[in-house]
């Protein structure tokens, strides 16, 4: 198994995609920082017109707590899209580069490729979250936000890691769709559609049952994660298990022309 994981990491050598995802993370933090920089000065907000209006509408305050909530949302709801992109790339490139046939003809049980690729996605995601936190603390310090304390910092780190973790539970479904369709578009379209549907259902009584709403609720609840019943966590775990099982079954047993 270690050899397969090492091989999956080796496939990323010289790939530009990890750098693109890192840039997206940093830009997301800088975007939040820009809005905070604008709203902390009403005159500046007024002089910036639409941008100032957007910053005010975002309801951001120049505090570590507000900034932390935004960072958590990046790791949670935003992470769903970025993670879908990462997983779709890891699985989809085998079809785009026409290397799937070489991989599947190797004397290695096929489930190992699914597990190894998800392990690489997890490591990649962890590195991105670490970058997100580093960028957040760096820009927060530069902006000299109010209310810094050890508890606030621990809250931001804990909340972000929790949001990142629950987001990851939903990505194996994207891997499954990538393998089934052998394309990039379908899983990315699916991820975007689920994110929108999750936001819509997030305002209904179905929210605690729909995986993509659950992540949004857990990751963006103001003043800390929303408290959800245990069944919501069971839904997330079941979605993860279904995604992994579906991806393995599809890769191991379906035709791979």
In the chain, helix, strand, coil percent, each to 5? 75, 0, 20
Interface pick for another protein out of 1, 6, 46, 185 (rule CB under 8 A): 6
Measured from the CB atom, the residue of 1 and 196 that comes closer to another protein is 1
> Which two structure tokens, joined as six digits, stand for 31?
């975007």
Asked whether the beta carbons of 174 and 114 are under 8 A apart, the reply is: no
Minimum Å distance from CB 93 to another protein?
8
14 binds another protein (CB under 8 A): yes
Length of the chain: 257
Distance of alpha carbon 203 from alpha carbon 213, whole angstroms: 9
Minimum Å distance from CB 10 to another protein?
6
| Binding residue count for another protein, defined by CB under 8 A | 23
Minimum Å distance from CB 254 to another protein?
9
Tally of CB atoms within 10 A around 230: 7
Residues 95-134 binding another protein (CB under 8 A) are: 97-99, 101-102, 104-109
3 binds another protein (CB under 8 A): yes
Residues 207-236 binding another protein (CB under 8 A) are: none
The residues that bridge with 63 in the sheet, in sequence order, are 146
Distance of alpha carbon 195 from alpha carbon 201, whole angstroms: 10
203 binds another protein (CB under 8 A): no
Measured from the CB atom, the residue of 13 and 203 that comes closer to another protein is 13
255 binds another protein (CB under 8 A): yes
Residues 60-99 binding another protein (CB under 8 A) are: 97-99
Which of 138-160 are b and which e, b meaning 16 or more Cβ less than 10 Å from the residue's Cβ? ebbeebebeebeeebeebbbebb
Minimum Å distance from CB 167 to another protein?
27
Residue with tokens 């000299």: 144
Q: Which residues bind another protein (CB under 8 A)?
A: 3-4, 6-7, 10-11, 13-15, 97-99, 101-102, 104-109, 255-257
């Amino acid at each position: 198994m270690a050899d397969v994981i090492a091989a999956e990491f080796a496939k990323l050598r010289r790939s530009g995609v990890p750098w693109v995802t890192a840039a997206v993370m940093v830009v997301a933090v800088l975007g939040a920082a820009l809005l905070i920089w604008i709203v902390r000065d009403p005159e500046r907000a007024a002089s910036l017109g639409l941008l100032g209006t957007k910053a005010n509408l975002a309801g951001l305050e120049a505090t570590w707590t507000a900034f932390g909530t935004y960072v958590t949302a990046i790791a949670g709801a935003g992470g769903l899209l970025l993670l879908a992109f990462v997983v779709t790339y890891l699985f989809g490139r085998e079809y785009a580069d026409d290397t799937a046939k070489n991989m599947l003809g190797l004397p290695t049980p096929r489930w190992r490729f699914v597990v190894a690729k998800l392990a690489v996605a997890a490591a990649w995601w962890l590195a991105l979250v670490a970058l997100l936190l580093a960028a957040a603390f760096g820009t927060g310090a530069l902006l000299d936000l109010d209310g810094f304390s050890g508890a606030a910092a621990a809250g931001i780190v804990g909340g972000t890691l929790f949001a990142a973790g629950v987001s990851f539970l939903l990505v194996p479904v994207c891997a499954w769709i990538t393998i089934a369709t052998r394309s990039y578009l379908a899983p990315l379209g699916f991820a975007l559609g689920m994110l929108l549907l999750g936001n819509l259902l997030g305002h209904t009584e179905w929210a605690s049952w729909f995986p993509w709403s659950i992540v949004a609720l857990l990751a963006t609840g103001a003043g800390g994660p929303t408290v959800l019943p245990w069944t919501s966590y069971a839904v997330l775990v079941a979605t993860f298990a279904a995604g992994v099982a579906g991806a393995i079954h599809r890769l191991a047993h379906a035709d791979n022309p």
